[in-house]
Amino acid sequence: MAWRGCFLRWVKEDIISSTARGNRFILYTQQKCGFRKAAKKAEPKKGTWEGAGHSQAEQSDIISQRKVVTPQPEPPAPHTPPRAFGRLVKPLVFTVGFTGCSFGAAAIWQYESLKSRVQSYFDEIRADWLEKLRPQKQGDFRKQINQWWNSLTEGQRTVAGIIGVNVLVFCCWRVPSLQRSMVTYFTSNPASKALCWPMVLSAFSHYSLFHMAANMYVLWSFSSSIVSMLGREQFVAVYLSAGVISTFASYLWKTTTGRLGPSLGASGAIMSVLAAVCTKMPEAKLAVIFLPMYTFTAGNALKAIVAMDTAGLVLGWRLFDHAAHLGGALFGIWYVWYGHELIWQKREPLVKVWHEFRTRRPGGGGGDGSL
């Protein structure tokens, strides 16, 4: 969802004065007149022409030669607001830095998870043994919650935290005292003073309940596939990076077209997840929730989505932020084809540095440097 405004002012015989009272702009326009007052003819002084001995015809020729034709000034070109591409340098640097930090933190997170897996295995065995010795309680609510949580896939448990954050931000939009802060930091706008952090926070922000429900349903539907394909840590890095990259694509398009305005929503990041799954498994069968009888392949769905967002950019549709959608989808396709090898497969030097740092710490334990 985006709000955009554009004001053009033409300077040519019209006087436009804009008086701002509250949020109103009053326009005064001076009406043009189709009649022009005739120029006053210069009357020669008596005796001037007669004393010179000129005839009436000669006097008329001299007067016509002395008339000066004033050229009409050309109207100036309409004022177009300058496209401040210089303001995009800071968001670009933030996008690159945040993406690198996301994948670096994900690599360290995976290292810590693998290291603690053996210890957690023995902890689970001891917990199961104690559970058998403990008398069973009928109707234990906490046990039912644990059973439901354990029945979920790893992908569903991973996106459950993301959905929880989105719900929390949605509730914050309903607090009147937080409205100004929410607009500043939880909507992305290239014309705003805050440019960088809204690129991340707006990916968890929804003002409409239907918008949030639709996005979270799609994320939940593809969670098992994307996490089984990338792993929990790599998925979180891709999701966060896609949110920032899609917002930067929106910044770039808005600045280029001059249609500045705020946007919010997780659609860009979710489009990256959808595109990655459809690129990796193009023959998978998909269906719309309202029309389950009609199925189509994931590859065809991805082509249709990219074509629709491209048409939205060309035709100037304003219902969705098509630049953010298209930026997220292209990032997901690129990551499956090239990004996994260029980024994730080359995390070993960072992991070795972290391993050496952990082993030098007191109580860090030894090791040969391998995972």
223 is catalytic: no
C-alpha 65/C-alpha 45 separation (Å) is 18
SS3 191: coil
> For every residue of the chain, which 3-state class applies, written as one string?
CECCCCCCCCCCCCCCEEEEECCEEEEECCCCCCCCCCCCCCCCCCCHHHHHCCCHHHHHHHHHHHCCCCCCCCCCCCCCCCCCHHHHHHHHHHHHHHHHHHHHHHHHHHHHHHHHHHHHHHHHHHHHHHHHHCCCCCCCHHHHHHHHHHHCCHHHHHHHHHHHHHHHHHHHCCCHHHHHHHHHHCCECCCCCCCCHHHHHHHHCCCCHHHHHHHHHHHHHHHHHHHHHHCHHHHHHHHHHHHHHHHHHHHHHHHHHCCCCCECCCHHHHHHHHHHHHHHCCCCEEEECCEEEEEEEHHHHHHHHHHHHHHHHHHCCCCCCHHHHHHHHHHHHHHHHHHHHHCHHHCHHHHHHHHHHHHHCCCCCCCCCCC
Q: Given 223, 267, 272, 322, which residue is catalytic?
A: 267
Straight-line distance from the first to the last Cα atom of the chain, in angstroms, rounded to the nearest whole number: 45
Residue owning tokens 């009357």: 43
Q: Given 206, 322, 325, 355, which residue is catalytic?
A: 325
Q: Are the C-beta atoms of residues 44 and 59 closer than 8 Å to each other?
A: yes
Output DSSP code: residue 319.
S
272 is catalytic: no
**Pair type for strands 285-288 and 291-297:** antiparallel
**Residues annotated catalytic, as ranges:** 267, 325
